[in-house]
Amino acid sequence: MPDDLIQGALFGSLDDEPAAPAPAPGELRVCALNINNPRVPRAQQTLSWLLASRSNVLVLTELKPSDGAKLIISGLAAEGFEVCLPPGWAGGSYFTVVATRGMPQTPVDGPGDPRAVAVDVEHDDKQIRIIGLYGPTNGMTTDSSDRRRAFQKTFLEYLHAIHRPKLLLAGDINVVEPGHQPPLTSFEEHDYAFYTGLQRLGLADAFRQAHPAVHEHSWISDRYGAQRLDHLFATPATGTLVNCAYDHTPRTSHITDHAALRATFILDAPA
């Protein structure tokens, strides 16, 4: 789509939504959403919803270098977000972005796959490392399993290498927790090992921390079963978790096929 057409569509959507007010000082509002590579009309709706979410950190997964993705990226930039794109994002494969507003960000070297992107954000002269991840989809074939296993191994090694005391990882990670309800036989031991490997690195599952006994799902399929695929993990030093919940509005309004995962942290408060 030509740039002038993108801008025309962009500003048409912003007129329909109130500007997102800034979070309180010291408040980190994170929204992770698989946007399902939208075409331009759906991208317009997605952008409006993201701005209305009042988040200052957005982790967006399942993008491709399409007109819809470019509209969202340019729209966020027009609203004051810094958008970090991974190297190789324009190559045609899926990629992830991390967008922040009100906190300076510095890109961090990624693992060499545009599915993952990392930034350091500044708060009171301290850094929080934020990583967005779109894990390989479970295709329920031997080849799919082999690809996921190799990616998960490489990513855990990468995460170990760039680990920081204040670290947050979010996105459609495409694994479920051990003991997931309902049980899902399509996931394998290496998928559960990836989830527990994140915990061994000191990253706590924010949703499970906020809701120890709740079984909720971010992607619903009559054929493959309801699954909690979208996650947010954070080290205790990142801040105090105030809330973490799935917002099903994007899914039920058909903006995408995933629920958004939204969380609020108070930075520099006792963890």
What domains lie within the chain, and their CATH numbers? 26-266 (3.60.10.10)
Q: Which H or E element spans position 171?
A: strand 167-172
pLDDT at 168: 98
Task: Please identify every stretch of the chain with a pLDDT value under 70, giving residue numbers as ranges.
Answer: 1-21, 269-271
Contact 54, 21 (CB under 8 A): yes
* Class of residue 153 by CB neighbours under 10 A (exposed 0-12, middle 13-18, buried 19+): middle
Contact 261, 34 (CB under 8 A): no
Distance of CA 49 to the CA centre of its chain: 15
**Neighbour tally for 143: CB within 10 Å:** 8
Strands 126-133 and 27-34: unpaired
Instruction: Find the farthest-apart pair of alpha carbons in the chain and give their distance in angstroms, rounded.
Output: 50
pTM, to two decimals: 0.91
**C-alpha gyration radius of the chain:** 18
pLDDT at 24: 83
User: Which residues are registered as beta bridge partners of 219?
Assistant: 227
pLDDT at 17: 45
Residues 94-127 have pLDDT tens digits of 999 999 999 999 999 999 999 999 999 998 878 9
